[in-house]
Chains A and B, each alone.
Chain A
Amino acid sequence: MSAALSAEGLHTYYGKSHILHGVSLEAGEGLVTALLGRNGAGKTTTLRSLVGLTPPRQGRVTIFGKDTTRWPAFNIAALGVGYVPEGRRIFPNLTVHENLMVPLERPGRWTPESVYRLFPRLAERKLSRGRQLSGGEQEMLSIARALLLNPKLLILDEPSQGLAPLITREVFRIVAQMRTDGISVLLVEQNVRMSLEIADQAYVLDDGHVVYSGSARELAADEARVQSLAGASAEEWTLQ
């Protein structure tokens, strides 16, 4: 298995606070890799380190065979790394249509027309401003925006956050579909059960350390561990 992305020994800080303590992980080519862990474990920081928004102070990030550790975020994205940030980060002052004009145009199958076909709801709301959208619509827009880069690697930070179960299921279905399209996916999620259902590989972060790495299926079988990861809000519903 070759890796679309690999990180070795990342140490990342916010100012003086030391968040990541030597995180290493790989996102396999054409696979879905889930990065799980409790709130504050360092999942978002890991993703921000990988995409160049909060560069690590130590360690190495390799994406598609290139050492991108010190690259600015826009160069990493231009390699074909789509990023769906935590909280969606829709541009609230722009219309849906304008939001889709922002990303770099990398050639490929995703165009504004084809993302509107994937998300018909966005086509209906083309002229609404970002701030007028519901959470689910914002999530779709954030994913659509990242797809317009025609990414080879898609990195999603908690896409199901704050969404109704039905919409969450829809989002997971689309993420799973990306895998069939040959896009490698790195997924950070609170929704442990659903993530493990669509993931091939899984990592568990705790307090800035990787405490589990291996197959998603094995982790899913370890009911005690899943329970402790999912915490009090253990989701009962699954993809079926």
Chain B
Amino acid sequence: MLELIFFNITNGLIVGAFYALMAIGLSLILNLSGVINFAHGGFLVIGGYLAYVLTPYIGFWGALIVSPFLTAIIGVAVEWLLIRRLYGRDPLYSLLLTFGLAFIIEDGTRQIWGANGLPVSVPPALMSALSSRFFFITGYRMFMVATVAIVVVLLFVLLRHTRVGVRIRAGTLDLETVAALGINVRALRSFNFAVGIFLAGLAGVLAGGQLGLEPTMGDGLLMPSFIAIIVGGVGSLTGTLVGGLLIGVAAGLTAVVFPSASDAVMYVIMAIVLLVRPRGLFGEEGMLT
């Protein structure tokens, strides 16, 4: 029984780490540009498939670094060509645009690589279990969680200690004043978009190594990521991180006692949080503090 609970907590943490990675990227873009990026799952898929294409040439480690960067470049191109034109308008426009983009990416992937699952080959060293009792804790799972943790820490350092990060945080509340202080806010938005998409691309590579690739693999992550943002409090990245891990672990634990409710539990958590603390767990601190 202990193993079972531990197994599900571990699972929940891993799933939660993915929710958090996706949700933080979504949150960055939403806070600075006011765009609800429904294509975020699509960029995850692009990151995963790029890794599949690149791995034979540069290996898993090379792909782990290169594909998120390439995904971010594709993301900036999309932002520059399409999304940027809708800034400042009703959010509904960009929502519709990114919703359409999500379908285009999914079908494009299916067209190029087929609907069947594809594997991303992971170095054998990462695949072995750490012990026979806790067989489910493979090196790769530890590695995924560690990678997410490192990237999130780096992101927080960027936002707190670099000029560009501080400008992003300033811009979430008052982009006009940031512009009046001489900052190219178009470039700032593009950079911020790139960071968000980088995180989605990275999630794609990591998920591909664990579960393999499918054109629809981003779909299941999008809704939990939005819920993670709402539970954590819109505007708070710390909240988003905690929200993602919380709903991941909650779903994992529910799977022990009541497996069929494990998908529903995150909606229950969201409802409770919204009733008790409508601004979310970390919502009071204000945007990106």
Contacts and interface: CB of A to CB of B under 8 A. Distances in A.
A229 to B, nearest CB: 27
A121 interface: no
A94 B181 CA distance: 15
Contact of B288 (A51, A74, A89, A93): A93
Interface residues of B, number: 24
B182 A101 contact: no
Interface string B156-185: 000000010011011011101111111111
Contacts of B287: 93
- Chain B: interface secondary structure? helix
A197 interface: no
Interface stretch (A28-36, A102-110, A180-188, A205-213): A102-110
Given A93-B173, A93-B288, A93-B289, A72 B166 contact: no
Interface size of A as a range: 20 to 34
A42 interface: no
B181 A102 contact: yes
A77 to B, nearest CB: 4
B181 A103 contact: yes
A146 B181 CA distance: 7
B91 interface: no
B264 to A, nearest CB: 35
A98 B166 contact: yes
Given A74-B185, A101-B163, A93 B180 contact: no
Interface of A: 51, 53, 72-74, 77-78, 83, 85, 89, 91-94, 98-99, 101-104, 106, 129, 131, 145-146, 149
29 contacts: A53-B176, A53-B179, A53-B180, A73-B176, A73-B179, A74-B179, A77-B181, A85-B177, A89-B174, A89-B177, A91-B169, A92-B286, A93-B169, A93-B285, A93-B286, A93-B287, A93-B289, A94-B170, A99-B170, A102-B163, A102-B170, A102-B178, A103-B182, A104-B181, A104-B183, A129-B289, A131-B286, A146-B181, A149-B182
